[in-house]
Amino acid sequence: MNADWLARLRHRGATSILPRAGLRHCLLLVAAIASAGTLFAVPAKATTIEHVVSAGGIEAWLVHEPAVPLIAVDFAFAGGAVQDPPGKSGTATLAASLLDSGAGDLDSHAFSDRLERKAIEMSFSAQRDTIRGTMRTLAENRDDAFDLLRLAVTAPRFDAKDVEISRAQILSLLRRETTSPADIASRRWWETAFEGHPYGRPLNGTPETLSSISIADLKSYAHRVLARQNLKIAVVGDIDAETLKPLLDRTFGALPEKPDLVSITNVAPRGLGRRLEVSLDVPQTVVDFGGPGISRQDPDFMAAYLVNHILGGGSSDSRLYQEVREKRGLAYSVSDNLVWLDHAAVLLGGTATRADRAGDTIDLIEKEIRRFADGGPTAGELTEAKKNLNSAFALNLDSSTKIAALLVQLQLDGLDTDYFTRRSTMIEAVTLDDARRVAKRLLDKGLLVTVVGKPQGFASSKPN
Amino acid sequence: MRAGMRLAKILLLTAALAGATSGAAYAGANVSHFTLANGLEVVVVPDHRAPVVTHMIWYKIGAADETPGKSGLAHFLEHLMFKGTEKNPGDTFSREVAEIGGQENAFTASDYTGFFQRVTRDHLREMMALEADRITGLVLTDDVVRPELNVVLEEQNMRVANNPAARLGEQIDAALYLNHPYGRPVIGWRQEIEQLDRDDALAFYRRFYSPNNAVVVVAGDVMADEVKADAEATYGKIADRAEANPRHRPMEPVQEAPRTVTLADMRVEQPSVSRDYLVPSETSAKAGESEALEVLAHVLGSGENCRLYRSLVIDQGLALNAGATYSGTALDYAKFTVFGSPKPGVPLHQLEAAIDAILAELGAHGVTADELDRAKTRLIADAVYAEDNQAALARWYGSALATGQTVEGVRTWPDRIRAVTAEAVQNAARTWLDRRHSVTGYLVKSLQSEEKRS
């Protein structure tokens, strides 16, 4: 069972520890990890990336770090929820939740028992473009852990009883999402921006689509997507290259060489300039806003990354944070992120504000974005942002699991191991003119805004 | 809220791990601990894998130390600590952190308030100087206090008012503690937050923020002697100004009556039941008791093969989820929680009865040698996994010391878990899972529908 679901099913939403500032939008794994990815600047002494190729041709990026006796593995198969069959959205999510629920000769009970006895952690999740997996083990249990991982990716069982438990858990989440303002705002945004495209479908499906998924669908999905050619792997910890190579072959070697993926068209977000309201009886109004982003391969990407950081990229220095929170106290959190997918790129942000100031808050955000599109950052802001992004790199390299996640993301982004050393130069190369031009390019096209709650002073635009 | 839930999840996981792994098998061996002349305690946890440090200051002051009627003040002050000092006005500190590519944040709980920065190691001393200045130098004007009060009110909206489960959680806590201030929400009751002002914040600050009421934890690529020199040169210059703070809170009377609370909200699409038992914390427990509760929570409620999940979700098919937690890091009391979310069509009371049967069975017959062994393996492994994250290690040492535990106690945690016997676990269940010391909370769509079902 996917631990993620379990944690979210727990009803106690409150925590007794209150952090001062949190980003409401940890939108996607992609966004979170990608933003971390660009934190690189200074080479870390302990972080030497080896590009390992096994005898069977399986590739992995390895950081050998023997200081702590554990091994973290992170990997991704390209082809996530976008590969859900038509009318069966949620297939990737359901399949991923079941990969560690019984495999090979081990039913789900026996499989979880083997994991728990050795304190091996394994989890899978579906993103829009990938199936993501992680495994963590004490080094002393290395061979058992890789063996269980082999079973999970090459021989998942999808036993009926386990399928029904997982399906019921996801259905429960879907029911909960129907009255959760943040989930409604996000869902409305994606389905409007990408209507008719797989990105417009809900990642976890709908009650109808989820109910229609058969065991054969799950097996077919796994067979189509879990393959060697579309697999990116990172391994960090107490293991060296020569030990890893045969383990890679044993673990992943039995997968089909090529995936069988349907081709997905590239798409740009639509509905720009629209404001959509969903009425919900909650004291606080939740707002999502967004527009076109920038592709990871675009030559302007680094400029856009800096521009986004200055506008609302999560720092308390950002313009949106200063204007919305610090000066006016309109919200606890306000931020935006660049989200780059395989077939689209968006800039997506959000806030949550009191109903009687919701209209003012949205107007203020749109005004600030307009002002930023027209004037771009100041020289001072750009310098500060460069310093920040250049220095912050090492913070991301202090745990094996963080490093492993990052190395997979870099591979998915088509970057090479030398990105560590190049990144700083790429940041420094962005000029003020670049930043201003890219601010205009990024923010000039208007926003699609979704609003959930009982906002006042806010006019919803007519559906077109 | 999705992200809110994720955040909550992360914190809950952290809390679970913190409970489970406040022991550090490897870094623990190299931990240094010393006290400056002004009373400030310093803990150094070396981790040389990356050139990074986590620098935290923990004040032994939290929501449970507020004056009645001023709930939310500890948390509000935590927000206001970012408004600048005489020496470093406005957002100088935050700008400095941003410029050097650092991260910063702060947090408040019932027993402590903490501030931290994560920076490359060459900036540690600078952070220490800025944080030392903030112990006594805070300057507040109404111009910055008023908007921040609105920020906190929006935080309350986001975390609590918009979230039925969080509202139920507040009501459960209020019912669980008949006399102790742990019954107050850390963020405060809304009508009391609304009345907080600059004078309240400054009075609280002057009373409690002082070097002799704080613990500094530095984890990362540092040597203890360097940290000590830097600490002397920065924190060492700040005179202590607080009276010794004995932290005597009003304690609980004998609890004699099981309580139930029901929160109904039309937005509840997944009902659930949870029960909190009032139990000893790591600090207030007798020797071995807290460790036994930790193992008990694991056997009952953690992982797919725990008793609650296996029985209720897999074997009986009554629930979508079920489990148990023990959050032991606290000064006076802790909570042992069991919870479950029913499958559609299963009444909450049926699920609750099934949970009770499992608890009764464990009380009557104890745990098997196999269960005990598995739980310990997992908990002790967590101590190794903990070694992989310097910020998490810093949090464990900080939260332990801020709640009256010792560095030695943290260090010996794996051994203490190893020493737990099956008998101790059974005794813990019999002694502490006593309904008279508990509150059962029901989250439902409407009171009528639930009454009809029961």
Alpha-carbon distances, residue A455 vs A179, A335, A458, B157 (angstroms):
16, 19, 6, 14
List CB contacts (< 8 A) between A283 and chain B: 157, 161-162
In Å, how far is A154's CA from the nearest CA of chain B?
22
Helix (H, G, I), strand (E, B) or coil at A75: strand
Question: Is pLDDT at B320 greater than 70 in this prediction?
Answer: yes
Q: How confident is the model at residue B173 (pLDDT cuts 50, 70, 90)?
A: very high
Q: Per-residue confidence at A26, pLDDT binned at 50, 70, 90? A: very low
Q: B50–A394: do the CB atoms touch at under 8 Å? A: yes
**With 0-12 CB in 10 A as exposed, 13-18 as middle and 19+ as buried, what is B20?**
buried
Q: Supply A130's token pair.
A: 């990938």
Beta-strand pair B41-46/B214-220: parallel
Q: Are strands A18-19 and B103-108 parallel, antiparallel or unpaired?
A: antiparallel
Vertex A205 angle, CA A204 and A211, to 5°: 120
CB A102 within 8 A of CB A160: no
pLDDT score of A37 more than 70: no
Over 50: is that where the pLDDT of A2 sits?
A: no
- Report d(CA A91, CA A198) in Å as an integer: 13
pLDDT at A18: 59
pTM: 0.91
**How confident is the model over A354-408, as pLDDT tens digits?**
999 999 999 999 999 999 999 999 999 999 999 888 888 778 788 999 999 999 9
The beta-carbon neighbor of B389 closest among A178, A352, A399 is: A399
Q: Note whether B66 contacts A: Cβ–Cβ < 8 A.
A: no
Q: For residue A47, is pLDDT > 80? A: no
Best interface-test mutation with A: which of B104, B308, B320, B337 has the largest number of A CBs within 10 A?
B320
B44-77 burial by CB neighbour count: b if 16+ within 10 A, else e?
Answer: bbbbebbbbbbbbbbbbbbbbbbeeebbbbbbbb
User: Per DSSP, what are the bridge partners of residue A233?
Assistant: A75
Does B101 contact A176 at a Cβ distance shorter than 8 Å? no
pLDDT in tens, B80-139: 999 999 999 999 999 999 989 899 999 999 999 999 999 999 999 999 999 999 999 999
A72 vs B388: CB contact, 8 Å cut-off?
Answer: yes
**Is residue A53 very low, low, confident or very high in pLDDT (cuts 50, 70, 90)?**
very high
Please give the pLDDT value at position A20.
53
- As a whole number, mean pLDDT of residues B2-8 equals 28
For B270, the closest of A136, A176, A390 (CB atoms) is A176
* Other residues' Cβ atoms within 10 Å of the Cβ of residue B224: 18
Q: For residues A375 and A370, give the distance between their C-alpha atoms in angstroms, rounded to a whole number.
A: 9
Query: Do A354 and B153 count as a contact with CB atoms less than 8 A apart?
Result: yes
Question: Which residues of B are known to be catalytic?
Answer: 78
CB contact under 8 A, A165 and B314: yes
pLDDT at B452: 47
pLDDT of residue B28 exceeding 80, the answer is no
Measured between CA atoms, how close is B435 to chain A, in angstroms?
20
Cα gap B203→B206, rounded to integer Å = 5
Please give the residue of chain A at the shortest CA–CA distance from B269. A176
Q: How confident is the model at residue B450 (pLDDT cuts 50, 70, 90)?
A: low
Tell me: pLDDT of A43 over 50. Answer: no
Site of tokens 């600050």: B205
| Per-residue tokens: B324 | 């148990």
Task: Write out pLDDT tens, residues A252-296.
Answer: 999 999 999 999 999 999 999 999 999 999 999 999 999 999 999
What pLDDT, on a 0 to 100 scale, did the predictor assign at position B241?
Answer: 84
- The per-residue pLDDT for range B360-393, each reduced to its tens digit, is 999 999 999 999 999 999 999 988 898 899 999 9
What's the pLDDT score for residue A33?
30
With CA atoms as reference, the chain A residue closest to B24 would be A68
Mean model confidence pLDDT for chain A:
89
* Gap between the Cα atoms of B328 and B301, Å rounded: 15
Residues B46 and B223: beta-carbon distance below 8 Å: yes
| Predicted pLDDT of residue A16 | 52
- Tell me how far CA of residue A24 lies from CA of A79, A99, A353, A457, in angstroms: 27, 29, 12, 23
Question: Tell me, what's the ipTM?
Answer: 0.90
pLDDT in tens, B218-271: 999 999 999 999 999 999 999 988 777 678 999 999 999 999 999 999 999 999
Nearest to B94 among A18, A117, A316 (CB): A316
Chain B (225-244) residues lying within 8 Å, Cβ to Cβ, of chain A = none
Using pLDDT thresholds of 50, 70 and 90, give the confidence band for residue B39: very high
The pLDDT assigned to A390 comes to 85
Mean pLDDT across chain B: 91
User: Would you state the pLDDT for residue A41?
Assistant: 32
Q: What is the pLDDT of residue B22?
A: 33
B339 contacts A109? CB cut-off 8 A: no
Three-class DSSP category at A145: helix
CA distance B27 to chain A (A): 9
